[in-house]
Structure 1
Amino acid sequence: MATLFTKIIDGDIPGRFVWADDVCVAFATIAPISEGHVLVVPRAEVVELTQASDDLLAHLTGVAKRIGAAQQAAWSAPRAALLVAGFEVPHLHLHVLPAWGEAELSFANARTDVPAAELDAAAERLRTALRDAGHGAHVPAALGSPAL
């Protein structure tokens, strides 16, 4: 059975995509810890971190690095944070978010009340920053599509 993330990648469930390539996608989470929080998710259904190949992890962290730099630029954040937990969905995903301190980097701080328009605006702000950083080839043409 397809995971929730596979259903998002396949377009069966809407997503706010900011990155897409042949290995992974990145889309906004519906429960952000901070504005601009996205998930980097492999297209392949890998359950969790230790089951991923070294090549896949290298690719995912490279994408996370590029997204993190764009988040820092878009939100004037001193750091980009990378969190890997993966208990809520059995499909490997890296949380990448602009960060101002370690105390806020807790899933207890995730907001589930963010209006859709604010999630859309944050995703578009990140998409613009990724294009400005020269990654336009990996920014999907439409916010709701993982296709390039």
Structure 2
Amino acid sequence: MASIFTKIINREIPAQIVAEDENYIAFLDIMPLVKGHVLVVPKQEVDYIFNLEPEVLSGLHLFAQKVAKAMDKTIKCTRIGVAVIGLEVPHVHVHLVPLKTMDDINFTRPKLKLSSEELAEIANQIRKGF
């Protein structure tokens, strides 16, 4: 069965996509830790990051860097934090989280519930950074 991320890639379910190329996609987390929390995903469905082929793994990080730089330009934060947990969805994904404090990347705290309008505005803001 396809992961929820594959369904986003295939446009079977909606997402606020901020960047995409032939191999990778970046979209807003719908249950973010903070406003602007982005997930960067390879289009190839692989469960565990260290099972990616080396060129896919390096490409994922280079694509994430481009997204993080766009986020840096458009979101007020100290820096963009990076996390790979790999337990929530069986499809490799990198979390890019705008940070003001260490607690902003604490995955045990309650997630935000943003409206679709708020998510759309944040996505538009990040896209302006490219």
Q: What TM-score bracket applies, with the shorter chain setting the length?
A: over 0.9
Q: SS at the partner of 2:108?
A: helix
State the distance in 2 between where 1:104 and 1:37 align: 10
Deviation at 1:53, TM superposition (A): 1.5
Residue in 2 that maps onto 1:137: none
Structure 2 residue 58 is matched with structure 1 residue 96: no
Q: How many residue pairs are counted as aligned between the two chains?
A: 130
Query: Contact (CA 8 Å) 1:18, 1:123: kept in 2 or not?
Result: yes
Q: 1:60 to 1:110 in 2, by over 3 A?
A: farther
Are 2:44 and 1:44 aligned? yes
Offset, 1:122: 0.5
Computed over aligned residues only, the root mean square deviation of the Cα atoms, in angstroms, reads 1.3
% identical aligned pairs: 33
The whole-number CA distance in structure 2 between the counterparts of 1:65 and 1:102 is 20
Q: How far apart are the structure 1 equivalents of 2:121 and 2:109?
A: 20
Q: Distance in 2 between matches of 1:83 and 1:110?
A: 17
Q: Partner amino acid for 2:10?
A: D
1:62 alignment counterpart: 62
Runs of 4+ in 1 over 6 A off after TM superposition: none
What is the TM-score normalised by the length of structure 2? 0.93
1:101 shift after superposition: 2.1
1:115 alignment counterpart: 115
1:77 match = 77
- The C-alpha deviation readout for 1:83-127, integer Å capped at 9, x for no partner, is 101211100000112111222211223524211111111011001
TM-superposed CA distance for 1:60, in Å, is: 0.9
Q: Could you list the runs of 5+ residues in structure 1 that have no partner in the other structure? A: 131-148
Q: Which runs of 5+ in 2 are unaligned?
A: none
